[in-house]
């Protein structure tokens, strides 16, 4: 996993609540057995006027000029600001893969769906929860200033604006540690292999039917 320390980048807004993972990456792209290449199909049904199928070259398709990510002012955005319950629905990790592959490294919303939130950390995409009032303010700023940027500082757990407003966010210390150091969670867990083994042996004795 890639390390994350600080990031200053252009912000793109998705001004809708309950954005589900089906919208983030539609099902036809889930047929891939690879982990990469989903970025070009991110928000496919909203981003393109023609129907997308896996294998299509998105640079040759018909973009929907109305859709926010197609507006030149948001080109190169690495921070996405969104509304409540972002990432609800299907558990597909393809959704965080697509966001990351497209270029996003941080998503800021008033709330996230549980599974999506969890999946983001596993791949080094940072989901940040800020109060909806603060997001209201950021949405206004983004709309007013083309090229609007935010700075995210993971060590200090803060998001700051160009006019030096600073908003702090919460993050679990384990997740922070993994992100800052780019750690492989499986490797960390396997350091406890003997304890897992001991737990399993005891469980096998107490509830043998689980191991049949």
Nearest C-alpha neighbor of 71 from the set 148, 158, 132, 129: 148
Beta bridge partners of 128: 108
Q: Kindly tell me which of 65 and 208 has the beta carbon lying closer to other proteins.
A: 208
Binding status of residue 180 toward other proteins by CB under 8 A: no
Pairing of strands 158-160, 149-153: antiparallel
Residue 7 near other proteins by CB under 8 A: no
CB of 78 to other proteins, least distance (A): 21
Q: What angle do CA 51, 36, 129 make, to 5 degrees?
A: 90
Stretch that binds other proteins, among 47-55, 57-65, 68-76, 148-156 (CB under 8 A): 47-55
Closest to other proteins by CB, 3 or 27 = 27
Confirm or reject binding of residue 66 to other proteins (CB under 8 A). no
Instruction: Give the list of residues 6+ apart from residue 95 with CB closer than 8 angstroms, or none.
Output: 21, 24, 25, 87, 116, 119
Contact in structure between 14 and 152 (CB atoms under 8 Å): no
Exactly one of 64, 70, 85, 149 binds other proteins (CB under 8 A); that residue is 85
**Applying CB under 8 A, does 105 fall inside the site for other proteins?**
no
Residues 78 and 103 sit within 8 Å (Cβ to Cβ): yes
Complex with other proteins: residue 7 or 30, whichever CB lies closer: 30
- Binding string, residues 125-164; x marks residues near other proteins by CB under 8 A: ----------------------------------------
Cα of 147 vs its chain's centroid, Å: 21
Min dist. Cβ of residue 40 to other proteins (A) = 16
Burial of residue 63 (CB within 10 Å: 0-12, 13-18, 19+) is middle
Q: How far is the CB of 112 from other proteins (least distance, A)?
A: 8
DSSP character string of 105-137: -EEEES-B-HHHHHHHHHHT-EEEE--HHHHHH
Q: Cβ closer to other proteins: 113 or 142? A: 113
Count Cβ atoms within 10 A of the Cβ of residue 176 and give its class: 0-12 exposed, 13-18 middle, 19 or more buried: middle
Residues forming the site for other proteins (CB under 8 A) = 15-18, 20, 22-23, 26-28, 30-35, 45, 51, 54-55, 83-85, 88-94, 96, 111-115, 118-119, 122-123, 172-177, 185-186, 189-190, 192-193, 195-196, 199-200, 203, 207-212
């Amino acid at each position: 996993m890639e390390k994350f320390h600080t990031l200053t980048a252009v912000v793109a807004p998705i001004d809708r609540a309950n954005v589900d993972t089906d919208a983030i990456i539609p099902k036809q792209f889930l047929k891939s057995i690879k982990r990469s290449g989903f970025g070009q199909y991110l928000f496919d049904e909203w981003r393109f006027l023609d129907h997308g199928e896996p294998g299509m070259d998105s640079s040759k398709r018909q973009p929907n000029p109305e859709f926010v990510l197609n507006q030149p002012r948001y080109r190169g955005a690495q921070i996405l600001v969104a509304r409540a319950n972002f990432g609800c629905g299907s558990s597909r990790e393809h959704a965080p893969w697509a966001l990351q592959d497209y270029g996003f490294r941080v998503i800021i919303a008033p709330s996230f769906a549980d599974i999506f939130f969890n999946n983001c950390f596993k791949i080094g995409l940072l989901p940040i929860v800020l109060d909806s009032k603060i997001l209201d303010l950021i949405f206004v700023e983004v709309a007013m200033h083309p090229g609007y940027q935010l700075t995210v500082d993971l060590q200090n757990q803060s998001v700051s604006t160009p006019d030096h407003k600073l908003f702090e966010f919460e993050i679990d210390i384990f997740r922070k540690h993994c992100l800052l150091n780019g750690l492989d969670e499986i490797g960390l867990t396997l350091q406890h292999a003997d304890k897992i083994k001991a737990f399993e042996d005891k469980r096998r004795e107490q509830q043998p039917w689980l191991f049949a």
